[in-house]
Amino acid sequence: MNSENNSVGGGNTPPPRGRGWGRGLCLFPGSFDPFTKGHDDIVRRALGLFDEVVIAVGYNEQKAGWMPVEERVATIRKLYADEPRIRVESYTGLTVDFAREQGITAIVRGVRSTSDFEYEMQMADVNRQLTGIETILLPASPQFASLSSSVMRELAHFHHDISEFLP
C-alpha cells in the first residue's frame, strides 16, 4: 500500500476519488411539511458532495400532514425542475427500508442544534447497525438554523405570511 495514501490528515494528499464516500446517490429524507430555505440549503450542499440527491418526502398513513404529501412532492419537484441531479419521491415506513429499495447507501440529514444532534446520532447509529447505511450530518447554515417546519406551520396557522422562509 502506498504510504502517502495511508496517512491520516498528513501532507497535502487529497482523498482518493471514485468509490470513496461522497460520490453516487444520497437520500435526503424528511417530512418537509413545508419545505423551507433550510432544507433547500442542505439539498444544494449535498449536491456538492454527491452525484445525485433523492429527496424523500415521508408521510404517515395514520396521520394527515399539514400539507398533503402529493402537494409537498409537487412543490419540491417544481422547485428543482431544472436540476436533473435531484429526484423527489414520497415514502411511508422506515427510511432505511426505502433507502435500500432505492439502492442508496448514504443518508444526509441537517443538524441545527444539540437536540437535533442527539436524535440524529441515535438514528444514524441504529440505521447503520440495521443496514450498513451511513448517515452524513451537515451542520445548518447559521442564517437558516432557526427555521423549522413546525414554526412555519404555527405562523401560517395564525395567518402570518411565511413566504420569506420558503425557497
Examine residue 65 and tell whether it contacts ligand ADP (CB under 6 A). Answer: no
* Residue 63 annotated to the active site: yes
DSSP string, 46-93: HHTTSSEEEEEEE-BTTB--SS-HHHHHHHHHHHTTT-TTEEEEEE-S
Examine residue 31 and tell whether it contacts ligand ADP (CB under 6 A). Answer: yes
* Residue 160 annotated to the active site: no
Instruction: Give the helix/strand (H/E) hosting 25.
Output: strand 25-30
Examine residue 34 and tell whether it contacts ligand ADP (CB under 6 A). Answer: no
Amino acid (1-letter code) at residue 67: M
Whose CA is closest to 163, among 71, 37, 67? 37
* Residue 150 annotated to the active site: no
- Give dist(CA 96, CA 79) in Å, integer: 25
Which C-beta is closer to ligand ADP: that of 40 or that of 52? 40
Examine residue 72 and tell whether it contacts ligand ADP (CB under 6 A). Answer: no
- Look up residue 167 and give its three cell numbers: 425557497
Which C-beta is closer to ligand ADP: that of 80 or that of 144? 144
Task: Say which DSSP state 99 is in.
Answer: H
Examine residue 140 and tell whether it contacts ligand ADP (CB under 6 A). Answer: yes
> From the list 72, 88, 110, 135, which residue makes contact with ligand ADP (rule: CB under 6 A)?
110
* Residue 3 annotated to the active site: no
Active-site position among 44, 112, 128, 153: 112
Contacts with ligand ADP, residue ranges (CB under 6 A): 30-32, 36, 38-39, 42, 109-110, 112, 116, 140, 144-145, 147-149
